[in-house]
């Protein structure tokens, strides 16, 4: 079996242009393991989710939060969202 999924906080720190998932600066999402907690709105972008999941191991290697950018450029005007992922201490 693999290591458990860490508890994390995901903050939207910058949103430029039009995001198809409608993420906005200041939003925060919390995961306990693989379960989204405390939000009516889900973390509903597959591109952003894949980027978060692929970078979770970096939290074990680096001190402090990590910043990632969604790889989906959006449609029409385009857009870009930057997220900060932080470990939640249990």
Reported as a single tens digit per residue, the pLDDT across 18-39 is 888 888 899 998 888 777 776 6
Model's pTM, two decimal places?
0.80
Domain that holds residue 51: 1-66
Q: Residue 58: inside a domain, yes or no?
A: yes
Q: Residue 47: inside a domain, yes or no?
A: yes
Q: What is residue 50's predicted lDDT score, i.e. its pLDDT?
A: 86
Q: How many residues does this entry show for the chain? A: 90
Where is pLDDT greater, at 80 or 90?
Answer: 80
Please write the tens of the pLDDT for every residue from 36-78: 776 666 677 888 888 888 888 888 787 789 999 988 766 666 7
Contacts of 57 (CB under 8 A, 6+ apart): none
Copy the structure tokens of residue 79: 């857009």
Q: Residue 42: inside a domain, yes or no?
A: yes
Q: How many helices (H) and strands (E) does the chain have?
A: 2, 5
């Amino acid at each position: 079996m693999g290591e458990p999924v860490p508890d994390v906080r995901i903050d939207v720190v910058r949103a430029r242009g039009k995001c198809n998932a409608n993420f906005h600066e200041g939003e925060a999402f919390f995961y306990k393991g693989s379960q989204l907690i405390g939000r009516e709105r889900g973390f509903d972008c597959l591109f952003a989710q894949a980027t978060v999941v692929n970078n979770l191991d970096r939290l074990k290697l680096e001190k402090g939060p990590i910043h990632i950018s969604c790889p989906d450029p959006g449609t029409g005007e385009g857009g870009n969202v930057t997220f900060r992922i932080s470990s939640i201490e249990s």
